[in-house]
Amino acid sequence: MIARAKHLSLPLAGAMLAFGFAAASQSSASAAPGDVTTVAASTSPAEAVAFWTPTRLRGAKDYTEELGNSVTGSGKAVSTGPDGKAGIVPPIGEEAKTSSKSKQVNLPNTVGRVFFTLPHKNPLDPRNWKYCSGSSLQSKYHNVVATSAHCIYDPVTNQFYDNWVFIPSYWDGNQAWEGKAPYGIYPAKWYQAHDDFVVKEDYDYDYAFVNVSSGFKIKWEKVGSTWKFVKTPVGRLGDNVGGQGFTWNRSTKVTVFSFGYPAGPHPDGDRPFTGRTMKWCYGTSAAMPPAPKYNVQEHIGIKCGMTAGASGGPWLLNYKSKSRTGYLNGVNSIAWDTDKNDRYDHISSPYFNSETYDVYKVAANRWTA
Instruction: Quick: pLDDT tens for 297-325.
Output: 999 999 999 999 999 999 999 999 999 99
Q: CA dist 221 to 55, 176, 217, 228, 230, Å? A: 11, 10, 13, 5, 9
Residue 331 identity (one-letter amino acid)? V
Strands 129-137 and 186-194, how do they pair? unpaired
Rounded to an integer, the average pLDDT of 122-140 is: 96
**Res 74: pLDDT:** 57
What pLDDT score was predicted for residue 10?
24
11-30 mean pLDDT: 33
**Overall number of domains in the chain:** 1
Q: Is residue 202 situated within a structural domain? A: yes
Answer yes or no: is 7 within a domain.
Answer: no
- Confidence label for 92 from pLDDT (cuts 50, 70 and 90): confident
Q: What is the largest CA-CA distance in the chain?
A: 64
* pLDDT value for 226: 82
Residue 4 lies in a domain: no
Any alpha helices (H) in 81-142, and if so which ranges?
Answer: none
pLDDT digits over 199-257, tens only? 999 999 999 999 999 999 988 888 887 888 888 999 999 999 999 999 999 999 999 99
Residue 8 lies in a domain: no
Residue 3 inside a domain? The answer is no
Per DSSP, what are the bridge partners of residue 153?
A: 160
pLDDT value for 271: 93
- Which range marks the domain in which residue 299 is found? 15-364
Residue 79 has pLDDT above 60, yes or no: no
- Can you say whether the dihedral through the CA atoms of 352, 357, 359, 364 is positive or negative? positive
- Stated pTM of the model: 0.85
